[in-house]
Amino acid sequence: MGIVGRKRGFLALLLPICFAILLGRFPMVLGLNYTEYRQVSSLRLERIKTHLDQINKPAVMTIESPDGDIIDCVHKRKQPALDHPLLKNHKIQRHPQEMPKVRMMKEDGARDEKSNEVVKGAWQMWHQNGTRCPRGTVPIRRSTMHDVLRAKSLFDFGKKQRRVSLTRGTDAPDVVSGNGHEHAIAYTGAQEVYGARATINVWDPAIQVVNEFSLSQIWILSGSFDGTDLNSIEAGWQVSPELYGDSRPRLFTYWTTDSYQATGCYNLLCAGFVQTNSRIAIGAAISPVSSFLSNQYDITILIWKDPKLGNWWMSFGDNTLVGYWPAELFTHLADHATMVEWGGEVVNTRANGEHTSTQMGSGHFANDGFGKASYFRNLEIVDADNSLSSVEYISTLAENTNCYSIKSSSNNQWGTYFYYGGPGNNPQCP
């Protein structure tokens, strides 16, 4: 080989190395990471690095999860929430002043009347090595350069797509199919609501393309659905390759006060949500997950407004307090919610000119029932007296039942519940 050939070979080896150094020590996610050979300007890289320095706070201790996540144990007073301009003088509330009054229910080992399979509680994958964050710290999933580069822009990182329009009737939920979002949900009529609870079946639905997602969540809503002042608090599980770089179901939260335009974000990717728990990492993978015609795993999420201080608290599993959205963040939700929604949502980009094959829930239709379809059970709302009561009347909606469906019912064990989901693209859903 001549000198020119050797130089070319050397350059061919050097360029990928230089690019890797430029991006920093961040792991690749094969098959889902489309930033490997994209040109990234030094100015953009510097802006991203500055942003990551703002949200990745100094860690007291670092834990590496079996799935590759890095969990930073950050002192609770150094967490991102307190960077919010409205929270500069915020004093962290250690516990809610008052828990909702809950009627006694048997949660563990619940059984569907039609099945012998036991329903079990799911937890989080990063706990599997036995390491915990020290008291006085909160676990925060570290964000990487590639996480940001998978987003459309730095502004869009950690945010839901801005809604092009919000069209709805006075008693119908916020469903917007014009920007590719499709739903299968249950919802309450317009009323004063101070929180909601549900137990949500966890699966790992297949995602067709990197910028689509599938989620199952609770929405706490108030404000104008046809304007720019919608307030929303959301929590559940989601699979989002763009946001997380993999296809694992993860615990997530979201909030907005302006119809998803500029305020709010997923998890702790912006200032807002105040975390108080050292055992739950928002954005971390949930494990184990449900299997077809086998054990079913679910998570229980409760969101309610503290009647004393007005903060919106969240608990996970067996009443484990995670943290809260401070009342200062909100306009309409500073008072109360007017609607609750439960159910699934997917993004359909029609990447190949056809309906996406991204699955919702388990990927099976509602009529398939227990062990096959995904479910929400024990739907409850919190009233003005801070009491939890079973939801007796719900409406259901799915934009295209040939793609994703929903079917509600009730019994003594599961209260009000529903099955939902679907495969997306199929002969009836072209």
Closest by Cα among 209, 296, 287, 217 to 248 = 287
- Among residues 139, 143, 156, the alpha carbon closest in space to that of 52 is found at 143
Q: Kindly give the residue spans of alpha helices, DSSP state H, lying in 139-253.
A: 145-150, 241-244
Sign of the CA dihedral running 295, 120, 267, 167: positive
345 catalytic residue (yes or no): yes
Residue in 133, 150, 161, 142 with CA at minimum distance from that of residue 73: 133
| Separation CA 138–CA 279 (nearest Å) | 8
Question: How many Å apart are CA 402 and CA 428, to the nearest integer?
Answer: 6
Backbone dihedral region for residue 23 (phi beyond 0: left; psi -120 to 50: alpha; all else: beta): alpha
Map residue 275 onto helix, strand or coil.
strand
Burial of 421 (0-12, 13-18, 19+ CB in 10 A): buried
Choice among 182, 212, 234, 341 that is catalytic: 234
3 state DSSP class of 383: coil
Active-site option among 182, 212, 242, 345: 345
- Among this protein's residues, is 242 annotated catalytic? no
Give which of 98, 105, 182, 172 is closest to 380, Cα–Cα.
105
Q: What's the DSSP call for residue 125? A: G
Residues identified as active-site: 234, 345
